[in-house]
Structure 1
Amino acid sequence: MAARALWKGAISFGLVHIPVDLYTAVQEHGLDLSMLDRRDFSPVGYKRYNKKTGKDVEWDDIVKGYEYEDGEYVVLTDEDLKRANVEATQTIDIQAFVDAADVPLTYYEHPYYLAPSKGGAKVYALLRETLRKAGKIGIATVVIRTRQHLCALVCMDDKIVLNTLRFDTEIRDSEDLKLPPATLKGAGISDKELTMALSLVEGMSEEWKPSQYHDTYQEDVMALVKKKIKAGQTKTLTAPEPERKAPRSSNVVDLVALLQDSLGKRPAKGAAKDKAADEAPAPRKRASPAKAAGKSTADKSTAGKSGKTATAKAARTAGAGKAGAKHGATRKAA
């Protein structure tokens, strides 16, 4: 099925005019849950009715209006909304070009694809490559349906993406949040903790592959649905469990220990692995047979001073191929 354009107009900057069509770039996959009456589990419907007469109203009889006084409305049709500012409703007007890094992520809202309309391919490609070479994004305004949006035009591969932005007045102030100090010293973070955290991040770093991520929660919910159907519990109302008590604030977390355990579970890759070995304490994990064999030899050389210790260590690592044979010899010598 061919994609359907949500909006048709043009990108405008300076004297340049690029005819384009706007397409949605995302699709939702949320759970489609119906509203039910808990008394008999019948679907709950939504009714459009005239609040004065109480009678049902068909879609064809519905118009939009702005309430300028209590109970008094100005009727506004789609044509009225268009005529209010024809240029604004048909133009993506670029106001400026800025560095993408200068726009915080909190401003980004919803992505759309822009594709050239008939006769606009060359100038569309020119803008795309200009954005790519300059390393900039275009900040523009556009009216979609009945609302004006601030937006960013971003070059992505072979297309231009229009991402609507929130206005500055829509971003809440963060001054009321209780955040840790911006400096390492003020936040109580040691150099060792930062080094180990960096080693963990490097060890877990990989190429961005969006296809490997999916909504596992929705899969779990659907598995629960099938389970309830199989058990004949389709009308069972599950009672909520008692709320778990929040951990006491007096509990002190040993951050170094957590980082050590994390490094042990996810060993670093390449240079990061060597860096972790040099700068961070050894992770808590069981020794490999080869390392155990080397340790057994060292124990054998000091058997006269600590025979019991050497014997215990050799016994724990016995039975692992060649390492096991060496451990057996150590025990015999002891």
Structure 2
Amino acid sequence: MAYFRLFVGLTALMEKIKEYGYIVDYKDLFRQLQGAVTDYTSGAFDGYEAADVAGLLCDRLSKGCDRLETTLEAVRALCEPVPRPRESADYRHYFCTPDTRDQKAIAANEPKRVAFYQAVNALIRAYSNLANEMEAAGYTPQEAETIKAEVRHYSQIREEVKIASGDYIDSKIYEPAMRHLMDTYIRAEPSNLVADFEELGLVQLIVNQGFPVLESLPEGLKQDHKAIAEAIENNIRKIILDESPINPKYYEEMSELLDSLIEQRHQKAISYQEYLEEVKQLAKRVTDPTGSAVGNYPPALNTSALRSLYDNLDKDEALALKIDQVVITTKKDNWIGNRFKEIEVKNALNAVLVDAKVDLPLNQLLELIKQQHDYQ
């Protein structure tokens, strides 16, 4: 009875963690797996009704086949809308954007990308569970090789889409285990080091290391200049969208500069090398607004919060300094998210803005202030 309770407890725990797993039977409680599967009421389950224990044990290979087929079909279904001939660029355009001038496409297509990443991750795990036992699971050598090629294809597309969209940063903590599975069961060739991309991102690597880093991109990205340019533009666009709440005016200017650069590339107004140099300078300004623009601000505006206030308050230095002081002296600990503490700051700001001539509404100013790390 105690062993049965232990088994049921382990089964319940595994159901919370993953869909199925292994229990090592050191005491031969289940005798032979085959016998346990065909006769639930023998061995450890002696004395229990068959209906009570039915379904607790199942054939691992059979379950693995079902899981592999299900996850493979799920990935195929997600990729069905990808335009033919379904080359690398077709996947990137579908999951990212066919036109990097579209400012909303990267964010709008994020749910599709997340679903794709999750489905491919599940496929990789399902395949890894059977990779060394495909023939034992009932697949012919030809079928096994076809499935392996398909899993490899989707894993490569997943990596390209993540880098092209800038999404790899968000799930970097999961990547070491996933890379291990891919390197062990899927890739036959030496794997590319993608850890640097996951730690810093494509744009920051370009700023830090220059354009030799582009040689580390997956083959489907570095094959042509257009693919590289689109990946860089998508990554810069994502940073602009993510950082815009901190300083809307500044990143609006960065977005306009990016649009202009993209248009020049489309019109072939600049060479590829000129484009790379221009995009590197833009990348520096996007990733480090303080360092790249410090000379454009009055000396008294020596924090990022002050510069953000200055940019969004019609370049009014005196007003920016006054609001900064009001916020610092008024805000309480853990004020953001506390309704009463926020109202206190809002009332103090309203008193300052009574005689000020600015276009920024009070509520928007409060939200801007809440985004500043200096005030948190």
TM > 0.5 fold call: no
TM-score between both structures, scaled by the size of structure 2: 0.19
TM-score between both structures, scaled by the size of structure 1: 0.21
Q: Which has the higher strand share?
A: 1
Q: Which has the higher helix share?
A: 2
